[in-house]
């Protein structure tokens, strides 16, 4: 069964929609080393950033590429307001040109606000989203976890305080993945089956750890 769904406008009568959008962005190809970073409002690279860059240098693919956002500061000067990591990775890999999106922001205040917007006006991808994507891609580890859970009667899901919870539900995705990886599919299934038979709703991380002695 197809899971495709079209993009549709939202009905939001309580909102006052924006009417002035500013100049349209434009897409151009540039040499990554030609881009500049304004330290007035942009942070230096953290240890976490460096680890991410190092990892992506080994795994870079165009189908995972997200264009950096930049502003034009002169005839030949572009300031990156989002995506400096991507530009550094491309420069390290000696990629001659990358696609960037140039937006309008004439003042430091506008550029700083744009930087904040690009780094805050986004929905964080959760571990559950990543797991579902890996499962859809046929990732062997994710497939093992899915098979173990199905055979044990466990359902991995995000659980909020208002969620209706059934026996066998669990939000302990990381622990279940670790259990399958460390103990193998057979033992992992037996552990989870024990908790399902105990009618745990939900199965907690503490219960998984206590059952395995971890």
> Residue 63 maps to which CATH number?
3.90.1530.10
Q: Pick from 144, 124, 155, 127: which is nearest to 188 by CA?
A: 144
The verdict on residue 6 lying in a domain is no
Q: Which domain-ending residue is among 62, 85, 120?
A: 120
**In-domain check, residue 67:** yes
> What integer pLDDT is reported at residue 118 of this predicted model?
61
Does any domain span residue 19? Answer: no
Q: What is the pLDDT of residue 41?
A: 66
Over the stretch 134-146, which tens digit does the pLDDT of each residue have? 888 889 999 999 9
pLDDT digits (tens, 9 = 90+) for 160-177: 888 899 999 999 999 999
37 and 116 together in one domain: yes
Domain that residue 78 falls in: 26-120
β-bridge mates for residue 28, sequence order: 100
Structural domain ending residue among the three candidates 120, 146, 179: 120
Instruction: Count how many domains the chain has.
Output: 2
**Per-residue confidence at 189, pLDDT binned at 50, 70, 90?**
very high
pLDDT of residue 192: 95
Look up residue 188 and give its two tokens: 């992992």
What are the backbone dihedrals phi and psi of residue 78, each rounded to the nearest 5 degrees, phi first? Answer: -125, 125
Is the full-model pTM beyond 0.85?
A: no
- Alpha carbons within 13 A on the beta-carbon side of 104: 5
Instruction: Note whether residue 64 is domain-resident.
Output: yes
Residues 131, 158: contact at Cβ < 8 Å?
no
Q: Is the pLDDT of residue 1 over 60?
A: no
């Amino acid at each position: 069964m197809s899971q495709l769904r079209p993009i549709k406008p939202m009905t939001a009568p309580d909102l006052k929609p924006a009417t002035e959008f500013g100049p349209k962005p434009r897409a151009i190809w540039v040499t990554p080393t030609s881009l500049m970073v304004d330290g007035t409002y942009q942070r230096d690279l953290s240890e976490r950033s460096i680890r991410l860059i190092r990892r992506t240098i080994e795994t870079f693919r165009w189908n995972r590429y997200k264009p950096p956002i930049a502003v034009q500061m002169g005839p030949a000067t572009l300031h990156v307001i989002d995506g400096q990591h991507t530009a550094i990775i491309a420069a390290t890999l000696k990629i001659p040109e990358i696609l960037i999106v140039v937006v309008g922001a004439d003042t430091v205040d506008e550029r700083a606000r744009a930087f904040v917007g690009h780094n805050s006006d986004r929905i964080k991808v959760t571990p559950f989203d990543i797991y579902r994507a890996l499962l859809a891609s046929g990732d062997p580890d994710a497939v093992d976890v899915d098979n173990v859970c199905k055979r044990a009667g466990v359902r991995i899901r995000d659980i909020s305080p208002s969620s209706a919870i059934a026996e066998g539900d669990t939000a302990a995705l990381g622990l279940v993945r670790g259990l399958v990886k460390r103990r193998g599919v057979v033992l992992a299934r037996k552990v989870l089956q024990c908790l399902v038979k105990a009618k745990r709703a939900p199965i907690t991380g503490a219960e998984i750890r206590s059952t395995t002695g971890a």
